[in-house]
Structure 1
Amino acid sequence: MALKCGIVGLPNVGKSTLFNCLSSAKAQAANFPFCTIEPNVGVITVPDERLTKLAEIVNPGRIVPATCEIVDIAGLVKGASKGEGLGNKFLGNIRETDAIIHVLRCFEDDNITHVDGNIDPIRDKEIIDTELQLKDLETIEAKYAKTQKMASTGNKDAKVEFTVMSAYKECLEAGRNARTVTFESKEEQDAAKNLFLLTSKPVLYVCNVDETAAKDGNEWTRKVDALAKEEGAESMIVAAKTEEDIAGFESYEDKQMFLEELGLEESGVNRLIKKAYALLNLQTFITAGEMEVKAWTYKKGWKAPQCAGVIHTDFEKGFIRAEVIKYEDYINYKSEAAIKEAGKLGIEGKEYVVQDGDIMHFRFNV
């Protein structure tokens, strides 16, 4: 399952530096707007300590973690919805992503210019929100009259779509993001999804700070956190420049030592990837054998046959049952034979809801 997160923000907030840390691809990071013209794309692995621990028991030929795609999108400026800067291109690139990582500058540095002259992450957030909202309004208004006309003739689908569009129109005109609107029925939820609105995508606000604020943040990060909570979004702190230093260390031990000196248990990059993964309601089940220990991505709430289909469509079509071992049991008992003997191997049918970290073996017949 391909997961695509777009990194957005005003120019010079640290997007490309963060992207460099997340990805082995190197985005140009220069002190002027639009040095990132084409979006840089990097495929990164989702950190999962469970795979390493299972591999110590199973001794597989390889470990295959889950991956996600990160897209570094050119810096946005005021007026992008009207084509300013790289406006239309930028907005088109966001439309193709599943979630937005919105980087906000929460650090002072006289050597790095700010496009609006001073540091104010709340203002910066509002600039981008406004541009995305204006573009979403444009999307709705382009088909609003036509949908209204079809709804008035009694067309059932058009009625649902018009209800959804009207709710979004009211919300956007009030200067709020589309993601703050929720719909009850499955039909309305599907209609909302098919509009592909930019501000309906889940968002993670990343406060880019200097090294001194890497652990506890600062006055700006606290303001962003409060605002994110108000709109039901997530926020986190990352010191992108420091993360770049961490990425430069060769050994795991050196990286851990550096993190400990900063008072951090885990790198900001690892935390960010995990949060982005959770943001999209994604979880992981695992297959473990001599050939490989592999992480598979699925949507939270999926049942066993759907997860079997992630490996191969035939597994879902001919699903018979799933043999399930809980991760903690695998670690405790150290072998499948011992797990079976202890009665800890679960035999599950079509209605089993897969849990994060389940070690699965599917039986199927095609």
Structure 2
Amino acid sequence: MGFNCGIVGLPNVGKSTIFNALTKAGAESANYPFCTIDPNRGMVPVPDERMDFIVEKVKPQSVVPTAMEFIDIAGLVKGASGGEGLGNQFLSHIREVDAVAHVVRCFDDPNVVHVEGSVDPLRDIEIINTELLMSDMEMLERAIQRTSRAAKSGDKELKKKLDIMEKLLAEVSEGKLIRSIEGYEALVAELKEYPFITAKPVMYVANVDEETLHEDNEAVKKVRELASGENAEVVKISGSIESEIAELDPEEAREFLDSMGLERSGLEAMIETGYTLLNLLTFFTAGEKEVKAWTITKGLSAQKAAGKIHSDIERGFIRAEVTSYSDFEELGSMQIAKEKGKMRLEGKEYVVQDGDIIYFRFNV
């Protein structure tokens, strides 16, 4: 699997509508709060034109794209961190995901009730972020209590962790999201056992009407400005348009997007943004039996990438036979790539590049 993304937001901002459109999962979507109680999950194949080209040329017996899992988490409300609206249960679901898609309503529609009575994206974001911060603060306070007692033994590692926790708590208490704290990655890496929500990569999903897809309205502009200072990304999407696209086959969907003057669907935009947020890339394995896409973190060595396929391949790694996608695209054949010297033999320390087509040699 590529990665999983939790979809959060206030009730009635379009979360479940967008989830259904992206995943075709058929989750309940209604004009009232808490129509989602247990999180809905949907797996979506990651569209990749490179893989389509490889499949066209190799003609394998089976094709396995990488996938992204979307998790539709119930709408949070004020007081969620204190248990309002089953808040603690919902917050625990958010802790499990790799990235967060925070849906923000950026359109007016008198037929769709807003839980706060009006459309105000900055207010809505503040409500959600406050609840997430409160939840992280509570986690830090409990962790500090436990670690303080244990650190009395003189353990230097525990003392180091305690110092980091206290630094984070001081910042969070001032209303800072962990991901906006300078050097937060290194700090959080020392506390891997604590899944802080506000340290997770975030994309704000601005749910807009059809007209705003081409030119930002004031609500979207405000979201972009806020995100720029928060180490977050913004994806603009129309839940209603995505619902229409979901009913079409791929060819019809492409024609529909062209007629709308859009280069890509909201799903493609969210996946691309997710890969950027999580620093991911895709490599391929290709043969007559199967063409398969694999998602890994950028900077991973060939041996570690082999382990994503199977631990035995990582353990018995001998070498990687690597063809870059650009060379394959130019030549159209693995055999010709080999004959032309474009298939390289790489060792275990080789850093896998986006689009690499790899065959791993290994001892059993």
Structure 1 length-normalised TM: 0.96
Q: Which amino acid aligns with 1:212?
A: E
Quote the offset at 1:152 in angstroms: 4.9
Give the equivalent residue in structure 2 for 1:80: 80
* Cα distance between partner residues in 2 of 1:177 and 1:282: 23
CA offsets per residue over residues 77-136 of structure 1, 9 Å max, x none? Answer: 001111111211111111111111000000000000001111110110000000010111
* Cα distance between partner residues in 1 of 2:130 and 2:185: 28
What is the aligned counterpart of 1:311 among 288, 309, 312?
A: 309
Give the equivalent residue in structure 1 for 2:236: 237
Give the equivalent residue in structure 2 for 1:259: 257
* Cα distance between partner residues in 2 of 1:185 and 1:220: 30
Q: Please state if 1:63 is matched with 2:100.
A: no
Q: Please state if 1:199 is matched with 2:198.
A: yes
* Cα distance between partner residues in 1 of 2:21 and 2:255: 18
The two structures, once aligned, show a CA RMSD in angstroms of 1.6
Q: Which amino acid aligns with 1:231?
A: E
Give the equivalent residue in structure 1 for 2:289: 291
Greater Cα offset, 70-79 or 262-271? 262-271
The question of whether the paired residues in 2 share the 8 Å contact of 1:224 and 1:235 is answered with yes
Give the equivalent residue in structure 1 for 2:134: 134
Distance 1:321 1:59, change over 3 A: same
Give the equivalent residue in structure 1 for 2:351: 353
* Cα distance between partner residues in 2 of 1:174 and 1:63: 50
Q: SS of 1:85's equivalent?
A: helix
Give the equivalent residue in structure 2 for 1:36: 36
Give the equivalent residue in structure 1 for 2:7: 7
Give the number of equivalent residue pairs.
364
* Cα distance between partner residues in 2 of 1:209 and 1:273: 18
Quote the offset at 1:3 in angstroms: 2.2
Distance 1:276 1:300, change over 3 A: same
* Cα distance between partner residues in 1 of 2:63 and 2:160: 46
* Cα distance between partner residues in 2 of 1:355 and 1:363: 18
Identity %: 50
The question of whether the paired residues in 2 share the 8 Å contact of 1:5 and 1:101 is answered with yes
The question of whether the paired residues in 2 share the 8 Å contact of 1:167 and 1:181 is answered with no
* Cα distance between partner residues in 2 of 1:143 and 1:246: 46
Structure 2 length-normalised TM: 0.96
Q: SS of 1:86's equivalent?
A: helix
* Cα distance between partner residues in 2 of 1:78 and 1:230: 23
Give the equivalent residue in structure 1 for 2:123: 123
Quote the offset at 1:160 in angstroms: 1.6
Q: Please state if 1:228 is matched with 2:227.
A: yes
Give the equivalent residue in structure 2 for 1:113: 113
Q: SS of 1:232's equivalent?
A: coil
Distance 1:227 1:82, change over 3 A: same
Quote the offset at 1:73 in angstroms: 0.5
Q: Please state if 1:329 is matched with 2:327.
A: yes
Q: Which amino acid aligns with 1:190?
A: A
Q: Which amino acid aligns with 2:291?
A: V
Give the equivalent residue in structure 2 for 1:103: 103
CA offsets per residue over residues 19-75 of structure 1, 9 Å max, x none? Answer: 001113111110000001111011111111111111111111122110121110000
* Cα distance between partner residues in 1 of 2:94 and 2:361: 40
Give the equivalent residue in structure 1 for 2:298: 300
Q: Which amino acid aligns with 2:361?
A: R
Q: Which amino acid aligns with 1:19?
A: F
Quote the offset at 1:149 in angstroms: 4.2
The question of whether the paired residues in 2 share the 8 Å contact of 1:58 and 1:290 is answered with yes
Unaligned runs of 5+ in 1: none
Give the equivalent residue in structure 2 for 1:209: 208
The question of whether the paired residues in 2 share the 8 Å contact of 1:306 and 1:316 is answered with yes
Q: Where in structure 1 do 4 or more consecutive aligned residues deviate above 6 Å? A: none
Greater Cα offset, 175-184 or 105-114? 175-184
Q: SS of 2:341's equivalent?
A: coil
Quote the offset at 1:151 in angstroms: 3.4
Quote the offset at 1:163 in angstroms: 1.6
Q: Which amino acid aligns with 2:84?
A: E
Q: Which amino acid aligns with 2:175?
A: G
Q: Which amino acid aligns with 1:80?
A: A
* Cα distance between partner residues in 2 of 1:185 and 1:217: 32
Greater Cα offset, 335-344 or 166-175? 335-344
Q: Which amino acid aligns with 2:330?
A: N
The question of whether the paired residues in 1 share the 8 Å contact of 2:188 and 2:199 is answered with no
Give the equivalent residue in structure 2 for 1:90: 90
The question of whether the paired residues in 2 share the 8 Å contact of 1:99 and 1:202 is answered with yes
